[in-house]
Amino acid sequence: MRVIADYDGQRTTHAALRLAAYLFVRPGELRGAEWAEIDLPNAVWRIPAERMKMREQHIVPLSRQVVQILENLKPYTGDSPYVFPAIGPRARPISENTLGAALRRLGYNSDEMTAHGFRTLASTLLNEQGWHPDLIELQLAHKERNKVRAAYNRAQRLAERREMMQAWANYLDRLKSGGRVLPFRAASLQHSKIKTV
């Protein structure tokens, strides 16, 4: 997070790197983000089904940090339909190689970190911190493997996911600032006790 904070390349690439860590969506979903999908006043991003791997709309709660990044970026890219437009013609998003190239420029080879690696990192740490696995899987937009449960369970658990995403953003900020990071145990234990019916 400290290395990303010091990135001195394109403003849009810098914002995309930060959002990759905060949001841990798939890289293609991030680079293709459109301003029309993002509701800043309600702090939510609705990714349409046609842009999702599982072809279902995905709702992403936005932390305060993410809203601020997007508000700061809008004056620079708001004239494009894309949050992260390519340099030159603004009618297309940044390339699929942009984030990977930025990570290489920051000194990380592909064995150390990839754009998709933010998803693995978030999933691992959130599970270790005791957040309910269903919340993490919903946030990752993973399909329910149990076919019966998938047929009946349509819960989005947005309030709980919003709380988790804000806690995650706060955790990343503490890592970046070099502060002592304590596990989420007190807050997350209540999530692990939630009964699923």
Active site residues: 26, 53, 116, 119, 142, 152
Instruction: Give the pairing of strands 44-47 and 58-61.
Output: antiparallel
**Four-point Cα dihedral 29, 106, 168, 42, nearest 10:** -50
**3-state helix/strand/coil string of 96-156:** CCHHHHHHHHCCCCCCCCCCCHHHHHHHHHHHHCCCCHHHHHHHCCCCCCCHHHHHHCCCC
Q: How far apart are CA 178 and CA 87, in angstroms?
A: 34
Q: How far apart are CA 13 and CA 95, in angstroms?
A: 10
What interhelical angle do 11-23 and 64-77 show, nearest 10? 150
- Show the tokens assigned to 27: 């890289």
